[in-house]
Structure 1
């Protein structure tokens, strides 16, 4: 192998030897007989409690998105539904380790069939299984290799827990055979500033110790000589230092302002030198609860972030959950296709108090803070939905209301939506999924989920054009906004702000500073004229270098 290609999901370049994840524990070929079902059920329960406690302990060592991931997985390990499924299998004669394996396999199959948020949770279940089985069989816990030197991590896929605990001082980059642009691997690699490539077929054929270079922008993984490693790493260090030298507001070479905002789940995700928050996810307050958070609870959480931002802008997204991110207290019916069901703003159709309480909490927190608070709704498809949301926002005493553009219908009707809202923000993750009819959690379809796909770019360009005509802001808050090359294309289309994870800001700021607005417009046209995603990326990379 001289060069493999995957999907670059976290920018940066490095080089080093590859080592793969240690394999999960294997069950003996013959399961033991169960002589005491009650003892076996308790052994399984104790193993799952151990896993939950360990994940909680690990969560305390990190913060932000990584801590949220570990906390969610910890709760899943002690979920009563899993415990009941394990108990039934023990009663049928399966020993604890086998009962856990069978129960989780059934849940994974069900989650994969549902898709969306549930499909993403299948990786959490695999990690819970492996940890519990290792505990029961007295085997080493699965996890990251420890070769004693910095290395490039190879894996079929990474569990959320493993990704959350990566140490950038040891792991140089991540390359996985599976995964997509919105997987945990992609999101958390960006949060740690690690180059990452996913959906890279053939990468597991590399032997441990083989030396490669990894480019998380282009997606190229190439074998190199040992002698080249030092120079590649040195160049990467120089590049990081160069990027760090760019500070202050985002703007093009000729001074065209492009605010660079952050995607956050709370104050822990903020970084210095920020221009504000372009996406404040509020789901963390609602997920995993049996009752809705009170207005007072929400107000405290929102006030913490608003207070930390001073007088900067923050764009808060109202609850983005539903049948694909279940909230037990809502009592939503199971759906055959939850990604297309009752989620986002649609929850307010039958549960208007959830939205009203959230807006009241936001209004209270905003009144007591200096931050410039904007509010937007997810999963909006029509101008009528947008207008109804704006009315609720105004009723709560909040001055600035917008909507997410995630559904192709909303993108195609952007002009009408902009007649009733103050701004729009394009969520390229879901927009890609719905436009390309490809589940964003299905790594086998990663090529279709590439935001460089011509159909997705055409929709973004249309929304930007509508915003320009209306004289209203059009932001991008999907993960693609953190791609330095694609950021140039978005600005050339007329997008007015970009929101991304903190470690991505420096590279985007530097890319903008090196190009005039006219350069960006030329690159946007090149991308739009390309016949497919790889051609678009290549054309912009070659012309924008």
Structure 2
């Protein structure tokens, strides 16, 4: 890159930067879906039905294989996503629908296409998160149709050299399966909390989403990607690309060398914690775990995990983590369905039975989980705390705290993800020991804006004054009660936003492990009063 700026000789594009860092290399576009041929006459319906089933089995096996490889390589969150997708491809209802259509005279490829389309329409009609998840079925459909036609499976390219991956959007399966040759990601669609964004941050890959103009950039063009600003430089020379990569390597090494607890320039402490989905996601550098997403352990389960299985899974994290571990109880529903719960379909799942609200239908699930967490904590001697998602009222907080403490867990908190909880933060803290603010959902519910929608990214910006005002109210309630208030949403890992949160009075920040060095440096460069001034300006 030239010293004078980020724009390359071929110009510059802009999108939404969702994962910090810079990278440069040749642009390679992801292969599109297979072309579905015209329907053909079927001589043997049973043979077509068998072909359709074999295609679904092949997709399931491939996803499970990739999940196992991801888990072996330390990508716990990626493995969970791949396993969940494999479970969808293995759905008996989907298989039965494809078989029925084939026996009715459709060839295997068209039978699969129709079966997947029916499932997509059902999800889309539900709205909210499940409508967003309908797009995930597109990827599975294309894989199954390709398998039935004997064509190469669509997905990630393998050009034999490092490259910048470009796609219309990335499915969870593709994002979770990214190899070491992928230098950065650019997508035409996507939002700040999409699977692409979350997994890119978890892996430390620079990423830009919501950049439709990248569709017109020819393959092979050497591009530079700035995952912080969302800028894409076009037409770099190989020498400029090498310079970008070398500077990024040097910057990452410099940041990694700066260890120690989080604090401002004048010594005000701010705990920097990690968001994880399993023990495989643990990395050195954080001061503990601020969000252990326990549902990621069980996304693929069709039968409830036994108490012993739960205890073992939690104990593995507790033994390996450095510092305290804050466990979020199962955040089931909407975009994270847990099949073993058997929850009914809902017309508006984002506003329905999710998180702690599952307890209204299945109270035994929460008590079993709390008992397993407590047993794992006793067995390991770890500093374990627990919090509930989607708490709305002080009465819910009080009931959760009573049951967690009865199980033997001393430190109990709740997540603040809906405005009602933020507005009653004082009352919540009379019942619990800490609050953790989930900015992703709090923004979604505050602005009535789907958190996955790229066209609404400006409303979901964590610097929106209305959102900051709710965070400030929670922090003030924490100061008055002498209890900690943290942030565990994606905003916590943004080095431009973290100082604002500290200025509002937040006491800890929990983020993807790859974000910890950047946030540590951002805080170390400002005094507490400077953070407070930034917060005042943002609120105004």
Q: Output the TM-score relative to the length of structure 2.
A: 0.93
Contact residue 52 and residue 108 of structure 2 kept, 8 A? yes
Q: Give the match for residue 4 of structure 1.
A: 13
- Give distance in 2, aligned partners of 1:449 and 1:39: 50
Q: Give the match for residue 148 of structure 2.
A: 136
Deviation at 1:378, TM superposition (A): 0.6
After the TM superposition, which of the residue ranges 251-260 and 420-429 deviates more from structure 2? 251-260
* TM-aligned CA distance change 1:92 to 1:449, over 3 Å: farther
* TM-aligned CA distance change 1:526 to 1:201, over 3 Å: farther
- Give distance in 2, aligned partners of 1:123 and 1:517: 44
- Give distance in 1, aligned partners of 2:48 and 2:513: 47
Q: Quick one: which of 403, 408, 433 aligns to 1:422?
A: 433
Q: Quick one: which of 258, 276, 282 aligns to 2:288?
A: 276
Residue 466 of structure 1 aligns to a residue in which SS?
helix
Residue 174 of structure 1 aligns to a residue in which SS?
strand
Q: Quick one: which of 396, 406, 409 aligns to 2:420?
A: 409
Deviation at 1:141, TM superposition (A): 1.9
Q: Quick one: which of 100, 105, 108 aligns to 1:96?
A: 108
- Give distance in 2, aligned partners of 1:242 and 1:18: 28
Contact residue 40 and residue 96 of structure 1 kept, 8 A? yes
2:356 aligned with 1:345: yes
Residue 285 of structure 2 aligns to a residue in which SS?
coil
Number of corresponding residues: 526
Contact residue 153 and residue 171 of structure 1 kept, 8 A? yes
Q: Quick one: which of 66, 83, 107 aligns to 2:78?
A: 66
1:431-480 per-position Cα deviation (integer Å, ceiling 9, x unaligned)? 11111212223334333323233322222222122212221111111122
Q: Quick one: which of 147, 155, 173 aligns to 2:167?
A: 155
Q: Give the match for residue 259 of structure 1.
A: 271
Deviation at 1:75, TM superposition (A): 1.2
Q: Give the match for residue 25 of structure 1.
A: 34
- Give distance in 1, aligned partners of 2:488 and 2:388: 13
Contact residue 475 and residue 497 of structure 1 kept, 8 A? yes
1:203-243 per-position Cα deviation (integer Å, ceiling 9, x unaligned)? 21211122332211122223253253233223222211221
* TM-aligned CA distance change 1:59 to 1:324, over 3 Å: closer
Q: Quick one: which of 424, 444, 449 aligns to 1:438?
A: 449
After the TM superposition, which of the residue ranges 329-338 and 377-386 deviates more from structure 2? 329-338
- Give distance in 2, aligned partners of 1:329 and 1:70: 17
Contact residue 130 and residue 334 of structure 2 kept, 8 A? no
Contact residue 115 and residue 439 of structure 1 kept, 8 A? no
* TM-aligned CA distance change 1:351 to 1:140, over 3 Å: closer
* TM-aligned CA distance change 1:331 to 1:145, over 3 Å: closer
1:231-272 per-position Cα deviation (integer Å, ceiling 9, x unaligned)? 322322221122112112111222211111111111111012
- Give distance in 2, aligned partners of 1:135 and 1:493: 54
The answer for unaligned runs of 5 or more in structure 2 is 1-9
- Give distance in 1, aligned partners of 2:305 and 2:15: 41
Deviation at 1:328, TM superposition (A): 4.3
- Give distance in 1, aligned partners of 2:293 and 2:330: 8
The answer for unaligned runs of 5 or more in structure 1 is 530-545
Q: Give the match for residue 398 of structure 2.
A: 387
Task: Report matched runs for 1:379-528 at 5 Å.
Answer: 379-528=390-539
Residue 202 of structure 1 aligns to a residue in which SS?
helix
* TM-aligned CA distance change 1:80 to 1:5, over 3 Å: same
Q: Give the match for residue 118 of structure 2.
A: 106
Deviation at 1:494, TM superposition (A): 1.0
Residue 95 of structure 2 aligns to a residue in which SS?
helix
After the TM superposition, which of the residue ranges 109-118 and 379-388 deviates more from structure 2? 109-118
Q: Quick one: which of 107, 132, 138 aligns to 1:126?
A: 138
After the TM superposition, which of the residue ranges 422-431 and 290-299 deviates more from structure 2? 290-299
Q: Give the match for residue 533 of structure 1.
A: none
2:364 aligned with 1:356: no
* TM-aligned CA distance change 1:14 to 1:402, over 3 Å: same
2:55 aligned with 1:47: yes
Q: Give the match for residue 213 of structure 2.
A: 202
Residue 141 of structure 1 aligns to a residue in which SS?
coil
Contact residue 294 and residue 327 of structure 2 kept, 8 A? yes
After the TM superposition, which of the residue ranges 487-496 and 124-133 deviates more from structure 2? 124-133
Contact residue 279 and residue 499 of structure 1 kept, 8 A? yes
